[in-house]
Amino acid sequence: MRRVFSGIQPSGEMHLGNYLGAVRRWVADQERYDAIYCVVDLHAMTVPYDVAELAGRTRELAMLLMAAGLDPQRCVLFVQSHVPAHTELTWILNCVATVGELRRMTQFKEKSHGQESVSAGLFDYPVLMAADILLYDTNEVPVGEDQRQHVELARDVAIRFNHRYGETLVVPEATFPPVAARVKDLQDPRAKMSKSSESPHGTLNVLDPPEVLTKKIRSAVTDSGTEVRHDPEEKPGISNLLDLYAAATGTGIEKAEAELAGSGYGDFKRRVADALVEFLRPLRERYAELAGDPSEVSRQLELGAVKAETIATAVLDRVRRVTGLLPRHPA
Ligand code: ATP
Ligand code: LTN
Q: Where are the domains of the chain?
A: 3-180+293-323, 200-289
Burial 172-201 (b: 16+ CB within 10 A, else e): bebebbeeebbbbbbbbbeebbbeebeeeb
- Average pLDDT over every residue of 272-288: 97
Does the beta carbon of 284 sit less than 6 angstroms from any atom of ligand 1? Answer: no
Smallest CA-to-CA distance from 158 within 83, 80, 93 is with 93
231 near 239, Cβ under 8 Å? Answer: yes
Residue whose CA is at the smallest distance from ligand 2 atom 5: 7
Among all bound ligands, the one having the nearest atom to the CA of 5 is: 2
Question: Which numbered atom of ligand 2 lies nearest the CA of 9?
Answer: 3
Residue 7 C-alpha to ligand 2 middle, in angstroms? 4
User: Whole-model pTM?
Assistant: 0.93
Cβ–ligand 2 contact at 143 (below 6 Å): yes
Residue pair 124/38 in contact (Cβ under 8 Å)? The answer is no
Does residue 193 line the site of ligand 1, with CB under 6 A? yes
CA angle 145, 151, 153 (to 5 degrees): 125
Q: Report how far residue 214's alpha carbon sits from residue 276's, in angstroms, rounded to the nearest whole number.
A: 9
Average pLDDT over residues 16-45: 95
Expressed in angstroms and rounded, the spacing between residue 144 Cα and the centre of ligand 1 is 7
Separation between Cα atoms, residue 126 and residue 140, nearest integer Å: 17
CATH 1.10.20.10 applies to domain 200-289:
no
From the CA of 90, which ligand is nearest?
2
Report the distance separating Cα 142 and Cα 5, nearest Å: 7
Task: Please indicate whether residue 23, judged by its CB atom, sits closer than 6 Å to ligand 2.
Answer: no
Ligand 2 centre from 234 Cα, in Å? 34
Position 6 scores a pLDDT of 98
What would the pLDDT profile of 117-155 be if each residue is shown by its tens digit? 999 999 999 999 999 999 999 999 999 888 999 999 999
Residue 121 host element (H or E): helix 120-134
Which residues, 6 or more positions from 22, have their beta carbon under 8 angstroms from its beta carbon? 6, 8, 142, 143, 144, 177
Q: Residues 259-266: what's their mean pLDDT? A: 91
Cα(328) to centroid(ligand 1), Å: 42
Provide the percentage of residues in the chain whose pLDDT is more than 70: 98
CATH code: domain 3-180+293-323 is 3.40.50.620
Q: Which residue, among 263, 262, 189, has the nearest Cα to 219 in the 3D structure?
A: 189
> What confidence tens digit (pLDDT) does each residue in 31-77 have?
999 999 999 999 999 999 999 999 999 999 999 999 999 999 999 99
Q: Is the CB of 69 under 6 A from ligand 1?
A: no
Quick one: average pLDDT of 98-107?
97
Residue 178 has pLDDT above 80, yes or no: no
